Chain A
């Protein structure tokens, strides 16, 4: 039985790990990866102490700092469900391992929003990608589609028009990204923009070979021949594992008090998975520290 189980290895979970270790709590960190969303970021210019640092470098530093402490780490497995037990909490992972703790911190962050269309899951990694900066260059010389209308979609388009044969931008809404970005699209010769078009299906046997889109106004459908589909439609809170346990707000974020308490005593939450305003590395780290200190106080009250 652990004193504290920290679920999630982004900045919130890692900061919580450091604070928990310094309070000498018997701590377990469970996470699919270390670094969370920082893994899809290059330049960071607003984390205190660094005028500029690359995402991977910052994660390496976080990881080295956490690694100094005698806490247990299960990295590469994810918590599928967290349950309340008489003595605290039990987590069941995707690998079907079980861990028990007296207190827990949910720090599972945000994950890319899915389109939820046929073909998407089957073809993920087979032409469908959620990390344009990672996988974009592999599609050099090919026809691709970028789905979305916000800044991350526009940035993906601007990167891809330089290297792809042709880029299709498919957005369900008018473009919502910054004008500085959308203005740059006008110069691109190899770009077709489909506004107010819904992506209905991603097609392909083994690898992506096309998408089917539908004009939201006229209802007319067409198929585009593409080898890559970049899905850039924002992020959603990664709260599935606790949705039956704690109170969430309308967007699926875990609601927390200023002391990081959730609706369940002994269960805390921190970072981007919560309803705390401002999703920033610095904020998430601070929230993780607060949550660990609150868990420590809760444990002290238990022994009294």
Chain B
């Protein structure tokens, strides 16, 4: 799992986003965090990748997860 590239697209006001990041940190997964409230380019990238406009979006290598779906994250990170 050490080699998987994990990206989180989030906003600072979204409670689910904080929980996703807490969860990844607790699992020892390092990730890049983009604040799509500030970074318009990353917001566009998130919408392109996930075909939707809700946060959080988590990208594990090429797999896109919308929302804090713990079971799905576990299986992608396993």
Contacts and interface: CB of A to CB of B under 8 A. Distances in A.
Are A and B genuine complex partners?
A: yes
Nearest to A60: B22
A135 B68 contact: no
A131 B14 contact: yes
Interface string A113-140: 0000000000001110101011111111
A33 B72 CA distance: 12
Q: Is the interface of A mostly helix, strand, loop or mixed?
A: mixed
B24 to A, nearest CB: 13
Contacts of A135: 11, 14, 53-55
A75 B71 contact: yes
A298 to B, nearest CB: 31
Nearest to A135: B54
B13 interface: yes
Contacts of A140: 37, 40
A134 B15 contact: yes
A66 interface: no
Contacts, number: 83
Contacts of B13: 42, 133-134, 136-137
A127 B53 contact: yes
Interface residues of A, number: 33
A247 interface: no
A55 B69 CA distance: 17
A291 B9 CA distance: 39
Contacts of B51: 126, 206
The number of chain B residues touching the other chain, given as a range, is 20 to 34
B53 A126 contact: yes
A129 B22 contact: no
A137 B69 contact: no
Given A76-B71, A76-B72, A140-B37, A56 B15 contact: yes
Interface in A132-173: 133-141
A138 B19 contact: no
A127 B22 CA distance: 27
B18 A56 contact: yes
Among B17, B36, B52, B71, chain A packs the most CB atoms within 10 A around the CB of B52
A134 B53 contact: no
Given A59-B19, A76-B71, A76-B72, A137 B53 contact: no
Nearest to B73: A76
B15 A125 contact: no
A54 interface: yes
A263 interface: no
A164 to B, nearest CB: 12
B43 interface: yes
Nearest to A206: B51
19 contacts: A39-B19, A56-B15, A56-B18, A60-B19, A60-B22, A75-B70, A76-B70, A125-B54, A125-B66, A126-B52, A131-B54, A133-B15, A134-B14, A135-B11, A135-B14, A138-B11, A138-B54, A140-B37, A141-B40
